[in-house]
Structure 1
Amino acid sequence: MTTRVAAIDCGTNSIRLLVADLPDPAAGPDAPLVDLSRRMEIVRLGQGVDKTGRLAPEAIERTRVALASYAAEIDSLGVDRVRMCATSASRDASNAGDFRAMVERTLGVAPEVVTGDEEARLSFTGAVRGLPADALEPYLVIDIGGGSTEFVVGTRAGGVEAAISMDVGCVRMTERHLLGDPPGLDQIAAAQADITAAVDRALEAVPGRQAATLVGLAGSVTTVVAIAEGLTEYEPERIHHARVSYGAVAEVTADLLAKTREQRLAIPVMHPGRADVIGAGALVLRTIMERAGMSAVVASEHDILDGIAWSLR
């Protein structure tokens, strides 16, 4: 018997929904989940959190509107189980109770404000299922979010060996450093120094430099990969498991940081809600590849959202 589940991932920049049928456990460990719906809205829940320590009322309202639409779809599809995980922005905010109350009113279930370690483990679970055979183990899985980046090392059979979450994400780094349009060289250098320090601390805590394959998750990574692959529209099936070299990532990063927001918006694969923060996200990816000594990154469209869904099995 399959189980119909709904997974919601509410991060600093976006909120996403996956409704899927989980396979019968008798089908074996490699049986895939079957997608019924995948949706994403940019709500920027973490707007200003790094500076104020609070969730902005307008950000909570944007999230409520998206969540109400998700709740209607969940109801129409006859979902058996629902789990919503809220990540970096709602961990940091002093008024997280307002957010929690809104979610319970709108969705009917409480959000789980997961720890950085749990966020990392869910991301790993979602990412490694279905990786191609030429993606050698152990893996270093990185999930570049709006407020934080998760680093996880592990294998398919053994699962997670080590994990850590660091407070460097595309929204946080943009709001803290990349204020120009385009950002100045001094702003980029300050962001680079901040990111490098965090990445080095992460790679001391988890054995990322010993990993054989770097797997990159979330919108910053998939957008950089789509640009590097020369796509004229966002095609998840072509991005999923695409392998892109460090040289290509470095070239895309430099180009994004040199462009104005208007110029980034003109890139065919660019989501309008990501155009102002993609430079920082690309810089995080490039820095991780440099500091971990990785020659390439494998992109995955499956991530924490899929991990949340599998946790409902």
Structure 2
Amino acid sequence: MPNTFQTPEPIQEGDLLAAIDLGSNSYHMIIARYLLGQLRVVDRLRETVRMADGLDAKGGLSEQAQQRALACLARFGQRIRDLPDVRVRALATNTVRKLRDPRAFLVAAEAALGHPVEVVSGREEARLIYLGVAHAQPPKPGQRRLVIDIGGGSTEFIIGSSFLPIERESLQAGCIASTRRFFPDGKLSRKRWRDALNTIGAEFQSISSRYRALGWDEAVGSSGTHKAISEICQKMKLSKGAITAQALPQLRDALLQARHIDQIDLPGLSDDRRPIIAGGVLVLEAAFRALALEKLSVSKAAMREGILYDLLGRHGDNDMRDASVAALCQRYGIDTVQAARVEETVLRLFDQVAGPWQLEADDAQMLRWAARLHEIGLVISHNGYHTHGAYLLEHSDIAGFSRQEQQMLAALVRSHRRNVSRHAFEALPDRLLVTARRLSMLLRLAVLLHRSHEADPISQLELLVDEDSITLQLDPGYLSTRPLLQADLLGETQASASLGFRFHPGLD
């Protein structure tokens, strides 16, 4: 039986795609139309939200910052209200990662935007930044490029070649965070600056040796901080667009003459950027020192463009998640033959229930990856390997996956055998819970059917479902020669109840 739900519907000529970047300083949305194999931007929206300004040391978010964020998302949502979820991707970054209760904010954010909002790790953020810059300014063949993105709460450093990152890191030093950390009362002085520069420089030392050993042919700055500093340098006639090692100290000296952030008056500096420019210049000067930079050109692209191209790849033949899953299989020595058996069977089951259970192509993809990785925990221990596997999948840096996607993958692996923990799905947003339990049930059955690692195909396999009832039908002759399978199917009735299903194993 062919698997009809294995891959998402490809992007069609004329389709609109939208990418939203929920940054720590500003929110960006870019809308593009797919025409003649290319993405053509049709609209851009940007609002200063300064979310990191409302973050406290305990992970709380001020009411003012949250309201600014939700009001912005509501306006963005109005622009894309007619787009289906599969054509929209909204990603939250450093500040949401730091929240004590990110789920509470995400529920409100999704309601305001009208589309799902995901959180990405710092390293995944770095990958998307590089992807956006690389597509906007394709690097020369064979050359390496360093990309630096100074956000509100963190700074990403990426070395890549062509469209692929080689090294990527996210360090906790951004323009808002550094301004608040080192100049909390707004006062500026050379001593404060020197101490702050030494502190950030020490933190950047964690990557400097590795990055300098790899080397690069050109350095590019992405994000509003670099654009603002470049504009100031041009207005002060310190450079002609690029940011240089000679220009930065002069810019810093001019900035410190103000003695207070409110008094900073630099040519080309907007009122919007004034409260955080000190932290931005500070982080950039530390980066120049740590990496011995001489010159940094400025890109117009950033993470939002990377999200668009990544979204395009997800609906084509260039889904980064497939490559990441393949790499995990190789790294952890997974039995790919057994994984392929489970994958084929779980997709057969999926095809039979996708209609009544309202499952979609993205759900089939998640099942495919879970089937390939369900035995990943065996590298640690056979005892409770499903628990070990879930931990690896939830806490690893897996390129292409958001945190919610990793949590879904981990939940499926955690619940694919033995009793289902009541904590298995607690990390998932409420909107995914029903789907997660249904996918988990399908994976459990597929793994159970292949417990003996037999190569013989399952000729007759039918699954009948309604809202909370599942009936499995197998060839009686096939079942009669497999007493272990019969026992496992009988035992599954209790485990499936914890997922909310009444399971009928079809042994009558």
TM range (shorter): 0.7 to 0.9
After superposition, give the CA deviation of every residue in 1:3-41 in whole Å (9 maximum; x if it has no partner): 3111111111111111112344xx4xxx4x321111211
1:28-75 Cα offsets, whole Å, 9 max, x none, are xxx4x3211112111111124252321212111101111111111123
How big is the shift at 1:196?
Answer: 0.3
Q: Which has the higher contact order (CA 8 A, sep 6+)?
A: 1
Alignment deviations for residues 188-238 of structure 1 (CA, whole Å, 9 cap, x no partner)? 123212210122112245457611211101111110001111289xxxxxx
Unaligned runs of 5+ in 1: 233-238
Counterpart amino acid of 2:176? V
The structure having more radius of gyration, on CA atoms, is 2
Q: Secondary structure of 1:129's match?
A: helix
Q: Measure, in 2, the Cα distance between the counterparts of 1:149 and 1:133.
A: 21
Scaled by the length of structure 1, what TM-score is found? Answer: 0.86
| 1:128-161 Cα deviation digits (max 9, x unpaired) | 224277798211111100110011101115x111
- 1:52 aligned counterpart, secondary structure: coil
Distance 1:71 1:57 in 2: 21
Query: Cα offset for 1:283?
Result: 1.5
Q: Distance in 1 between matches of 2:248 and 2:288?
A: 9
Work out which of the residue numbers 97, 111, 114 in structure 2 matches 1:105: 111
Deviates more, 1:116-125 or 1:290-299: 290-299
The answer to whether the 8 Å contact 1:177/1:191 transfers is yes
Match of residue 235 from structure 1: none
Contact in 1 for aligned 2:54/2:64 (Cα 8 Å): no
Matched, 1:245 2:244: yes
Contact 2:151 2:175 in 1 (8 A): yes
Contact 1:151 1:206 (C-alpha < 8 Å) held by counterparts: no
Q: 1:93 maps to what in 2?
A: 99
Query: Are 2:148 and 1:142 aligned?
Result: yes
**Residue in 2 that maps onto 1:227:** 232
User: Mapping of 1:134-283 within 5 angstroms?
Assistant: 137-157=143-163, 159-207=164-212, 210-230=215-235, 242-259=241-258, 260-264=260-264, 266-267=265-266, 269-283=268-282
Aligned to 1:236: none
Contact 2:129/2:149 (<8 A) preserved: yes
Corresponding residue for residue 391 of structure 2 = none
2:214 and 2:225 mapped to 1: Cα distance? 22
Asked if the contact 1:149/1:165 (under 8 Å) is kept, the reply is: yes
Q: Letter of the 2:29 partner, please give it.
A: L
- Structure number with the higher strand fraction is 1
How far residue 290 of structure 1 moved from its aligned partner, in angstroms, is 2.0
Deviation at 1:186, TM superposition (A): 2.9
Task: Give the conservation status (yes or no) of the 8 Å contact 1:13–1:46.
Answer: yes
Question: Per-residue deviation at 1:268?
Answer: 5.4
1:14 aligns with 2:26: yes
The alpha-carbon deviation at position 184 of structure 1 amounts to 2.2
Q: How does 1:112-123 map to 2 (within 5 A)?
A: 112-123=118-129
Pick from 60, 85, 90: which aligns with 1:54? 60
Name the % identity.
Answer: 28
For residue 234 of structure 2, what is the amino acid of its counterpart?
E
Could you list the per-position Cα deviations for residues 160-195 of structure 1 after superposition, in whole angstroms to 9, with x for gaps in the alignment?
Answer: 111110001111111111234441233212321221
SS in 2 for 1:272: coil
1:68 aligns with 2:74: yes
Letter of the 2:30 partner, please give it.
L
Distance verdict in 2 for CA 1:71–1:288, change over 3 Å: same
After superposition, the Cα gap between the structure-2 partners of 1:287 and 1:108, relative to the gap in structure 1 and judged at 3 Å, is same
Q: Matched residues in 1 for 2:202 and 2:231: separation?
A: 28
CA distance in 1, matches of 2:262, 2:121: 36
Letter in 2 for 1:125: L
Distance in 1, matches of 2:210 and 2:104, equals 34
Q: Which shifted more, 73-82 or 269-278? A: 73-82
Judge which range, 48-57 or 67-76, deviates more: 48-57
Whether contact under 8 Å (2:242, 2:297) holds in the other structure is yes
Give the Cα–Cα distance (whole angstroms) in 2 for the partners of residues 134 and 248 of structure 1.
27
What is the CA RMSD across the aligned residues, in angstroms? 2.6
Task: Please say if 1:82 is aligned against 2:82.
Answer: no
* 1:38 paired to 2:44: yes
Query: Would the aligned equivalents of 2:139 and 2:145 in 1 still touch at CA under 8 Å?
Result: no
TM-score, structure 2 as length reference: 0.54
Query: Partners in 1 of 2:269 and 2:142 — Cα distance?
Result: 30
Rounded to whole Å, the distance in 2 between the matches of 1:153 and 1:6 is: 27
**How many angstroms apart in 2 are the aligned matches of 1:185 and 1:135?**
43
Which letter maps to 1:292?
L
Contact 2:179 2:279 (8 Å CA) reproduced? yes
Measured in 2, the distance between the counterparts of 1:6 and 1:130 equals: 17
- The aligned amino acid for 1:69 is R
**Which residue of the partner structure matches residue 436 of structure 2?**
none
Task: Label 1:210 to 1:188 Cα distance change in 2 as closer, same or farther (>3 A).
Answer: same
Check conservation: 1:215, 1:300, Cα contact below 8 A.
Answer: yes
Q: For 1:105 and 1:166, how far apart are their aligned partners in 2?
A: 31
Q: Name the CA distance, whole Å, in 1 between partners of 2:213 and 2:169.
A: 11
Deviation at 1:119? 0.1
Partner Cα distance (1:207, 1:14) in 2: 31
CA contact (8 A) 1:182 1:258 kept: no
Distance 1:43 1:262, change over 3 A: same
Residue of structure 1 equivalent to 2:288: 289
CA contact (8 A) 2:139 2:162 kept: no
